[in-house]
Structure formats: C-alpha cells, structure tokens
C-alpha cells in the first residue's frame, strides 16, 4: 500500500536557524498536507498543497508539492522556541471525499535550543 | 465556535476489558474520522463516518468499531483490549467530508492498557 517516508525523524537546532524536512513516496499523491502537533494536542493543519509544483507560504513556513507528485518539503525560516513540536506530512492518494485515503508520515520531531 | 472535543482525555484499562471513546465534532460538521496514534506506527486511519454511515474503514481488526449519531457525535468502541491497543486515539471532523476541506483534530484520548 501507499507509504510516506518522512525525514529527518528528529532535529535539534539553534533558534534563528532555518529548518527543512521532507516526505517522499513511491506512489503519486493528489494532495499534500503538513500538520504540526504539540504535546497533549491533536495535529493542526499548517499548509495544504493541491497542485504539482505548487509553492505555498504561511508566515515563516513554506511548503512545496513536488513536480513528480511523489514528494513534498516544508521549510521553516528563522525558527523560534514555539516551533517545537512534531511535524507530519500527509498525502491524499485518491479523490473521493474519504479520509481513508489520507496517509501520514511518521513525523519529524523539532527541538529548538533557545 | 468550539473545536472538536473528545472524552475522556485519559483512560486506563486492563486486558480483556472494553472501552468506549466519545467525540463531538465542530458544530455543523458531518464527517468524523478516527485515528490511532502510536510511536511505532504513527497516525493510522481507523474509520470515517458521514451522516451516520461508515464511509471507509482502515486495516484494524473487528474489535474496533464505531458509530455516529444523528447530531454527528461519534463513538468508537474497542472490545477485548490488548496491550498493543495502548495509544492516543484522535478524532477529526470535516464539514462535508470533501477532499479540499480542512480537517480539524481533537486533543485525543490517551488509552493505556495494562
């Protein structure tokens, strides 16, 4: 079945640094989503990408839908302590309105040293 | 507008018992999905309900079941609990369950099976 490989698994960076993480798959996805999960909370949607090649920003966050439709990356610029958390990518592999078609990566745990 | 709420937030059960978790979606949302989140497997789709009907089901054994009521509130039940069922169970809602709608997650119910 469809699988997403998310990397890196964890990152430990200095405040102010830029961060990059990505997701790849051997399968084609029609939509890529990026979520952030804080401790004790559910994931919150950061950015949604619906078209191959699309580059979308949300404040200091920028994400791109790969041209091959098999990958996506998320960049965080000038990281701050509140960026700490786990970031998940998710790919929608088939249209049809069912959430069963949404596959999640294993997450990237971000820790920032103040 | 209140977010997705889940009760209880924490639960401890023993092997062989059964458990019922509850989810109240955002007012007006008709699609409710359930996910299991574990460190090893990440976020895995359990099932989705829309207008009181199960629309899709993930690859979980029949011990995992759910239902949705006419007010869109949903419950999931796990019977004959096993140690491996210890996880964070997340509920998420969408307005109509369409692909490009934002899915909102609740804070989750953390289940520990002893």
Q: Which of A42, A50, A96 sits opposite B100 (nearest CB)?
A: A50
Q: How far apart are the first and last CA of chain A?
A: 41
The mean pLDDT value for B50-54 works out to 93
- pLDDT higher than threshold 90 for residue B62: yes
Kindly report each contact of residues B84-89 with a partner whose C-beta sits within 8 Å and lies 24 or more positions away, as own/partner: B84/B113, B85/B111, B85/B113, B86/B38, B86/B111, B86/B112, B86/B113, B87/B36, B87/B37, B87/B38, B87/B111, B88/B36, B88/B37, B88/B38, B89/B6, B89/B21, B89/B34, B89/B35, B89/B36, B89/B37, B89/B46
- Note whether A105 contacts B: Cβ–Cβ < 8 A: yes
pLDDT confidence bin for B61, thresholds 50/70/90: very high
pLDDT of residue B56: 86
Interface touch B102/A95, C-beta < 8 Å: no
Per DSSP, the three-state class of B103 is coil
Rounded to whole angstroms, the Cα distance separating B51 from B71 reads: 9
pLDDT confidence bin for B41, thresholds 50/70/90: confident
- Note whether B92 contacts A: Cβ–Cβ < 8 A: yes
Per DSSP, the three-state class of B58 is coil
Tokens 């009181």, located at residue: B52
* Residues of chain B neighbouring A50 (CB-CB closer than 8 A): 100
The mean pLDDT value for B91-102 works out to 84
SS3 per residue for B20-52: EEEEECCCCCCEEEEEEEECCCEEEEEEEEECC
Cβ-Cβ pairs closer than 8 A, A with B, add up to: 63
CA distance B23 to chain A (A): 13
Helix (H) or strand (E) holding A31: strand A31-37
Q: Which of A10, A25, A16 is nearest to A76 (CA)?
A: A16
Reported as half-sphere exposure (CB side, CA atoms, 13 A), residue A66 has a value of 16
The segments of chain A whose pLDDT lies below 70 read: 1-2, 94-100, 114
pLDDT of residue B39: 87
Rounded to whole angstroms, the Cα distance separating A10 from A24 reads: 16
pLDDT tens digit sequence for B1-39: 679 999 999 999 999 999 999 999 999 999 999 999 998
Q: Which of B4, B33, B100 sits opposite A99 (nearest CB)?
A: B33
The mean pLDDT value for B42-63 works out to 92
pLDDT of residue B1: 65
Hey, how many other C-beta atoms are within 10 angstroms of the C-beta on A30?
17
Q: In this prediction, what percent of chain B has a pLDDT beyond 90?
A: 82
DSSP single-letter state for residue A99: G
pLDDT confidence bin for B94, thresholds 50/70/90: very high
* Residues of chain A neighbouring B99 (CB-CB closer than 8 A): 30-31, 92, 95-97
Using CB atoms and an 8 Å cut-off, which of residues 64-103 of chain A contact chain B? 88, 90, 92, 95-102
CA distance B42 to chain A (A): 5
pLDDT of residue A96: 59
* Residues of chain A neighbouring B92 (CB-CB closer than 8 A): 42, 99
């Amino acid at each position: 079945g469809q699988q997403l490989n998310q990397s890196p698994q964890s990152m430990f960076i200095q405040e102010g640094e830029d961060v990059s993480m990505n997701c790849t798959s051997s399968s084609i996805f029609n939509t890529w989503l990026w979520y952030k999960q804080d401790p004790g909370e559910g994931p919150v949607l950061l950015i949604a990408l619906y078209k191959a090649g699309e580059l979308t920003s949300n404040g200091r966050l920028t994400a791109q839908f790969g041209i091959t439709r098999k990958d996506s990356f998320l960049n965080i610029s000038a990281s701050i302590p509140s960026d700490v958390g786990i970031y998940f990518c998710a790919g929608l592999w088939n249209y049809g309105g069912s959430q069963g078609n949404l596959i999640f990566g294993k997450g990237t745990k971000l820790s920032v040293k103040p | 507008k209140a977010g997705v709420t889940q009760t209880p937030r924490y639960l401890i059960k023993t092997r062989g018992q059964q458990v019922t978790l509850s989810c109240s979606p955002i007012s007006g949302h008709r699609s409710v999905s359930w996910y299991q989140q574990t460190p090893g497997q990440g976020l895995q789709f359990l099932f989705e309900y829309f207008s009181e009907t199960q629309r899709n089901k993930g690859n979980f054994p029949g011990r995992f079941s759910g239902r949705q009521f006419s007010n869109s509130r949903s419950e999931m039940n796990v019977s004959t609990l096993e140690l491996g069922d210890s996880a964070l169970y997340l509920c998420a809602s969408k307005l109509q369950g369409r692909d490009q709608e934002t899915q909102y997650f609740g804070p989750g119910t953390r289940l520990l099976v002893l």
